[in-house]
Amino acid sequence: MSLKGKILLIGLGVGIGYILGAKAGRERYDQIVKATDKVWNAPLVREGREAVGGFVDDRVGDLAKLLKTGASTVIDKATGRGRSRAKPIEPASYAPTESL
């Protein structure tokens, strides 16, 4: 199918969708909004949203620390300050086994 044919087909689909949507009118739109709101606020969906939100909130702090440390290191090296004053982030499971 040529590009003109594809554009014509897409335009035809949009036009038909618009006409059918306009015929459904405000009443159908309100039904869709009500059904969507009911699903969005269902207890299981709400719990899932809260869990994802908590996970993201926990990780944002770690990411900010990592970015700050990395930026400090890059700036120090670029400006010739030597070692970065920022402490590197160590994995929680890190524990030195012997001293040097």
- Summarize pLDDT for 22-76 with one digit per residue, the tens: 777 777 778 878 888 898 888 988 888 888 888 777 777 777 788 888 888 888 8
At 77, the pLDDT band (50, 70, 90 cuts) reads confident
Q: What angle do CA 63, 69, 72 make, to 5 degrees?
A: 135
Do the Cβ atoms of 73 and 84 come closer than 8 Å? yes
Q: Which residue has the higher pLDDT, 91 or 68?
A: 68
Do the Cβ atoms of 69 and 87 come closer than 8 Å? yes
pTM for this entry? 0.36
Q: Answer positive or negative: Cα dihedral of 35, 38, 39, 40.
A: positive
